[in-house]
């Protein structure tokens, strides 16, 4: 495997450790991250000694979402995060440019880009071997895609987990909230954009366990060790069996709709106003305007989406 830009991978006995590694940007998601994530998952599945995958984030939080600050502020001539030239159909700066009302927007091109990201995140869900995710600090917006695609979550009790872009400028593309929480509780979050604490996430059944942050590593490692005791063949069969429930509920169709809706949200009257505010005064000010009426500005953690 070539050296990765956004993730580190290492094996530790029966555990493959996959760590989001852009701490200076709150582990913000770039186009490289979902692709590198899928590569790590495939590598772990092919390693005969690995029983379980441990997903975590380096730095002060798990993931603050997509790294959209420069593109939302209208960085029209800058290259994309992977060095793609401006004008590339997979350059987030082009996507941001298409958010401006006077320019053209192709919803299918938007979908094609985001659907590839969904496939990267869903590599965690489709992984034959189970994925345990450790969440500390912020796990918001696009960061929740990776957490919810994992099988089990162990979270710090003071973590923040939610999808604030449900208020303006976003739709959860992996669309797992209702499948993980049930319709009523998913509506409670997505109709407000509110976030849960880690303790609330455990109460609601989203997380397997919430622990004080000073004991988070200990509790996560204990569950990892317990899962890793099972033979690989049993782990694969148990995961395949339980995943069939979500397939039967129509997860694929829900994700198609969620991914198309994600593009549409950025082209509503309110979505265009959000971008104009970001281009004039900065992305964080636009987020502040969006979230201050709810009394929770700052829950996004890193000002990404």
pLDDT band of residue 103 (cuts 50, 70, 90) is low
pLDDT band of residue 1 (cuts 50, 70, 90) is low
pLDDT of residue 27: 96
- Is the predicted pLDDT of residue 17 greater than 80, yes or no? yes
- Report the relative pairing of strands 160-162 and 195-197 from DSSP bridges: antiparallel
Domain boundaries, the chain: 7-294
Per-residue pLDDT tens for 189-243?
999 999 999 999 999 999 999 999 999 999 999 999 999 999 999 999 999 999 9
| pLDDT mean over 134-162 | 98
Which candidate, 81, 58, 28, places its Cα nearest to that of 303? 28
- Name the residue with higher pLDDT: 74 or 226: 226
The length of the chain in residues reads 305
- Is the predicted pLDDT of residue 177 greater than 60, yes or no? yes
pLDDT of residue 302: 42
pLDDT band of residue 57 (cuts 50, 70, 90) is very high
Euclidean distance between CA atoms 195 and 147, whole angstroms = 14
Per-residue pLDDT tens for 39-48?
999 999 999 9
Q: Please tell me the pTM assigned to this model.
A: 0.89
Euclidean distance between CA atoms 179 and 234, whole angstroms = 24
What burial letters (b/e) apply to 160-183, b meaning 16+ CB within 10 Å?
Answer: bbbbbbbbbbbbbbbbbbbbbbee
pLDDT band of residue 95 (cuts 50, 70, 90) is very low
pLDDT band of residue 283 (cuts 50, 70, 90) is confident
- What CATH homologous superfamily does 7-294 map to? 2-enoyl-CoA Hydratase; Chain A, domain 1 (3.90.226.10)
- Is the predicted pLDDT of residue 186 greater than 90, yes or no? yes
Query: Rounded to whole angstroms, what are the CA distances from 44 to 7, 14, 33, 223, 281?
Result: 14, 10, 16, 18, 44
pLDDT band of residue 2 (cuts 50, 70, 90) is confident
- Name the residue with higher pLDDT: 89 or 230: 230
pLDDT band of residue 181 (cuts 50, 70, 90) is very high
pLDDT of residue 75: 45
pLDDT of residue 112: 95
């Amino acid at each position: 495997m070539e050296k990765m830009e956004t993730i580190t991978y290492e094996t530790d006995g029966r555990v493959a450790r996959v760590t989001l590694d852009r701490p200076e940007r709150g582990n913000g998601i770039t186009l490289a991250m979902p692709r590198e994530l899928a590569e790590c998952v495939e590598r772990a599945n092919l390693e005969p000694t690995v029983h379980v995958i441990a997903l975590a984030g380096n730095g002060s939080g798990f993931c603050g979402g997509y790294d959209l600050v420069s593109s939302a502020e209208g960085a029209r001539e800058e290259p994309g995060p992977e060095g793609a030239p401006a004008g590339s159909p997979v350059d987030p700066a082009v996507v941001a440019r298409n958010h401006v009302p006077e320019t053209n927007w192709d919803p299918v091109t938007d979908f094609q880009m985001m659907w590839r990201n969904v496939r990267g995140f869903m590599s965690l869900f489709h992984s034959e071997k189970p994925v345990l995710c450790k969440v500390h600090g912020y796990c918001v917006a696009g960061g929740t895609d990776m957490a919810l695609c994992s099988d089990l979550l162990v979270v710090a009790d003071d973590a923040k987990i939610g999808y604030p872009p449900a208020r303006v400028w976003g739709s959860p593309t992996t669309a797992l909230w209702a499948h993980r929480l049930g319709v009523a509780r998913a509506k409670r979050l997505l109709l407000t954009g509110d976030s849960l604490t880690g303790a609330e996430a455990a109460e609601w059944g989203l997380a397997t366990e919430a622990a004080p942050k000073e004991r988070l590593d200990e509790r996560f490692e204990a569950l990892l060790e317990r899962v890793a005791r099972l033979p690989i063949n049993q782990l694969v069969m148990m995961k395949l069996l339980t995943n069939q429930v979500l397939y039967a509920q129509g997860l694929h169709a829900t994700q198609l709709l969620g991914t198309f809706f994600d593009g549409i949200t950025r082209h509503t009257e309110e979505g265009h106003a959000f971008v104009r505010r970001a281009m004039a005064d900065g992305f964080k000010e636009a987020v502040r305007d969006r979230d201050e009426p709810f009394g929770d500005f700052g829950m996004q953690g890193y000002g990404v989406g």
